[in-house]
Amino acid sequence: MANYRPMKLVVGYIPGVDRASDSARELSFKYRTAFVLETFHPDKVDMYFEVKLYCALVQAVGGIVGADILRAELSSGKRVDLATAIECMAQLEQLPEHEREPFPRVACLREGRIVAIIESEPWARVGGPDPYHDSYTVAVFSASDLSNELLTLTGKVSAEHGVDLAEIIRGNDQESEGGTVPTVRRWFDFSRKRSG
């Protein structure tokens, strides 16, 4: 089948749209890179969330930051540690297909310290502006700029999953005032420690 799953990468903040999450601000994680996963699938009537691709990206981000624990927050508020992409898929595949979507957030911990967070920006629920319209957007926030590593990672994971990296969008280094990012429940402190 021809590739039907374009993915975009947004480095930084799109003016007037993007802002850091409360969690990222609390942790002083000012750098943002986002994976924009399209929801169209030619064989599906409704929006589609590609669990395998999402879990591969989460696992790979954990590898980039040297995380020894990936702690996911479920929609219920429960937290689970994910050692592998297979465990990530198992968690999400417990749900009916039409209820599957990215975890609200995943904390990447190294030796008990949060070194990055991966947060869902659920544009699929509300439409949203270009380039996010009707997408599952997954933003990675960190204290250092990971964009080059994440760009390399995106190319590799995209190729492995038959997804085109259709566009790389470079935004501002600073978040926007009054951005419109849809919010998920407030961050529940996984660890009071953070990377220094």
Query: What does the domain layout of the chain look like in residue ranges?
Result: 6-170
What would the mean pLDDT of 2-24 be, rounded to a whole number?
83
- The answer to whether 169 touches 131, Cβ cutoff 8 Å, is yes
pLDDT band, very low/low/confident/very high, at 95 (cuts 50, 70, 90): confident
Q: How many CA atoms lie within 13 A of 184 on its CB side?
A: 29
- The answer to whether 78 touches 61, Cβ cutoff 8 Å, is no
Does the structure show a pLDDT above 50 at 187?
A: no
List pLDDT tens digits, range 108-151. Answer: 999 999 999 999 887 656 666 677 767 788 999 999 999 999 99
Instruction: Give this prediction's pTM.
Output: 0.84
152 three-state secondary structure: helix
Higher per-residue confidence, 46 vs 24: 24
List pLDDT tens digits, range 143-181. Answer: 999 999 999 988 888 888 888 888 888 988 888 665 555
Does the structure show a pLDDT above 80 at 195?
A: no
Does the structure show a pLDDT above 70 at 37?
A: yes
Higher per-residue confidence, 2 vs 14: 14
What would the mean pLDDT of 99-111 be, rounded to a whole number?
91
- What pLDDT was estimated at residue 71? 95
| Alpha-carbon distance values, 166 to 9, 39, 108, 169 (Å) | 8, 14, 27, 10
Enumerate long-range contacts of 81-87, CB under 8 Å, 24 or more apart: 82/58, 82/106, 84/59, 85/52, 85/55, 85/56, 85/58, 85/59, 86/55
| Alpha-carbon distance values, 146 to 11, 87, 168 (Å) | 9, 25, 14
Say how many residues make up the chain.
196
List pLDDT tens digits, range 54-84. Answer: 999 999 999 999 999 999 998 888 899 998 8
- What pLDDT was estimated at residue 181? 53
- What pLDDT was estimated at residue 184? 44
- The answer to whether 33 touches 115, Cβ cutoff 8 Å, is no
- Distance from C-alpha of 82 to C-alpha of 103, rounded to nearest angstrom: 12
